[in-house]
Amino acid sequence: MITLRSQELIALNQLIEENLRIRRGQPPIYIDIANNLGRLLSFQNHIVFGRRGSGKSTLLLTTKKEAESRGVLCIYIDSELIKENPFPDVLLSILVRIFEYLLEQSKNTERGIFRRFKRMFYPKGHSLNGKATNIIKDLYRLRTEPEAYELERQTTLTQQGRKGANIKVGLGQAGVGAEVDQATGSTIQETTGTTIVKIRCLQQNLEVYQSLLAEMLDKSAQNMMLFLDDFYFIEKQYQPDVIDYLHRLSKGANIYLKLGTIKYRTSWYRTSGDTGRITGVELNNDIFPIDLDYTLEDFEVMSNFLDEILSKFAEKADIEIGDLDNLFTEGGKNMLHLSSGGVPRDFLNLFVKSQNIARSRLLEKMEKQRVVGEAARQYLNETKKPNLSEDSVGDSSSLTQMISRICKFAIETRKKTVFLVDQGESSKNPEDYDKLKQLMDLRFIHLVDSNTSATYGGRKRYEGYMVDAGLWASPRIFGLEEVDFAKVDASGRKDELRNCPKFKLG
């Protein structure tokens, strides 16, 4: 029988902790329930949506490993490493990585992808490798320059003419007059300035880059996948520009984009108010979405999904998944599912943290409120709040204020763990509604119903959200009603949910 102090359980916890974060050289444990791996392996552009800890990086790296085994060239870039780069330097960094990768592949004499034509004689600098090398040098140089700078050029002109003749020499838009002596001639110098703008250089050279990449891949008869993980770290206002450029760069070049990001922290297109021109990509046309998020809306499906993940780890530790249920008091396992919000990493973290709390208090089992609830509170303070600051640069203050508003309204005043939002108010208050969705992606609130009625709302439709358990589960708040949002009465209605208070946007 498994107890909180069993060596098998300690080994299981160690296995979980080792796999909570992707580690270099360690193949991630990925559980593919919805055939997302198969979809991502197809030669199509994809954008993978998921909250922190939903498995985006695990899916992308698993896909990369499988694609490489099939002979596909793969480049993986973690956007967190280039997030400090201003725009368009972030594009320059990506382009450098692409060309350096292909150049390295072509130079490998044993398994180089261009070995069939490496012996062909080209004038120096005109081979594919030479062109790629020159482009890399130009990109490195451009990356060190300011966003816009003046480039000065000096023109020297020598003229011979008859003695005593007046000569007018045209240079650019300016004319320069000079007396020219037949015997000695004269030299005229003029300095002209040109404003160089980085993004303009990148746009002007896009066709050159795309053509060279297409030629290099055609020569090798191979496809390439560009994995850009944690894309939401790139400054939001420039995200459409980055996606737009990479989409045009890859188009027709056998390069396929695989982006991983948080949905409501991402802007994949922008429309110009003056011209109506769209910058970015269109979902289900230019790029196809894959959503990894399991919400509380279908609580049973979500719970089974999380238990399946835990069972895979338990299997590796020679533990029966049913034995783990005995570690909880009544309602404890349900609280664990609820507190996770459907996010696998949060679920596994809370599972381990709950055990640590129970052992430190000399308890034999994980209790619903005192243990799992306390684990949720600690996890929110130690992990979710720092995540909010990291993921919402520039917006953290307004999002924190929205959290305070929600907690004061739902938890302190109305004493309910769930609140409703009128669907009609979302279009009237887009800024507040966007904050609401961002807080959902940041795991401070959780969707429990995307389309419900209310006992007080007539024909209006509402969205239901649960405040994260870390904000109310421990210590127990006097008079607080823990709403059973999935409970259905004899008429098929969710009256506990429908009786929840309406939170007003704006």
User: Does position 487 have pLDDT exceeding 80, yes or no?
Assistant: yes
Question: What's the distance, Cα to Cα, between the start and end of the chain in Å?
Answer: 54
Q: What is the pLDDT of residue 145?
A: 86
DSSP lists the bridge partners of residue 279 as 270
**395 burial type by CB count under 10 A (0-12 exposed, 13-18 middle, 19+ buried):** middle
Predicted TM-score (pTM) of this structure = 0.83
Query: What does the pLDDT read at residue 114?
Result: 46
487: CB partners within 8 A, 6+ apart: 494, 495, 496, 497
Return the half-sphere exposure (C-beta side, CA atoms, 13 A cut-off) of residue 232.
24
Bridge pairing between strands 186-197 and 224-229: unpaired
Q: Are 63 and 41 in contact (CB under 8 A)?
A: yes
Q: Which two three-digit tokens encode residue 2?
A: 């498994």
Which token pair is 407?
Answer: 């907690």
Confidence at residue 144, expressed as pLDDT on a 0 to 100 scale: 87
Round to whole Å and give the CA distance between 376 and 386: 15
- Cross-strand bridge partners of residue 366: 328
CB atoms within 10 A of CB 278: 14
Tokens 């003695």 -> residue: 163
- Comparing C-alpha atoms, which of 451, 354, 448, 461 is closest to residue 410? 448
List pLDDT tens digits, range 226-240: 999 999 999 999 999
The predicted structure's pLDDT at residue 192: 56
Distance of CA 2 to the CA centre of its chain: 39
pLDDT of residue 129: 85
Q: Which whole-number Å values give the CA distances from 319 to 3, 316, 344, 346, in the listed order?
A: 11, 8, 19, 21
> Which domains are delineated in the chain?
7-17+295-386 (no CATH), 31-142+199-291 (3.40.50), 148-197 (no CATH), 392-498 (no CATH)
CB contact set of 207 (below 8 Å; sequence gap of 6+): none
pLDDT, one tens digit per residue, over 287-308 is: 999 999 999 999 999 999 999 9
**pLDDT at position 77:** 96
What residue has token string 């208070």? 501
Question: Mean pLDDT of all residues in the chain?
Answer: 87
> Which residues, including other chains, have CB under 8 Å from residue 13's CB and lie 6 or more apart?
352, 355
Q: Are 132 and 216 in contact (CB under 8 A)?
A: yes
Q: How far is CA 238 from the centre of its chain?
A: 14
In angstroms and rounded to an integer, the radius of gyration of the C-alpha atoms of the chain is 30
- What is the C-alpha separation between 252 and 371, in angstroms, rounded? 56
| Mean pLDDT confidence for 335-342 | 97
The more confident residue out of 191 and 472 is 472
Who has greater pLDDT, 157 or 472? 472
Cβ atoms of 41 and 225 within 8 Å: the answer is no
| pLDDT of 159 | 53
Among 260, 308, 382, 313, CA closest to 18: 313
Predicted pLDDT at 118? 46
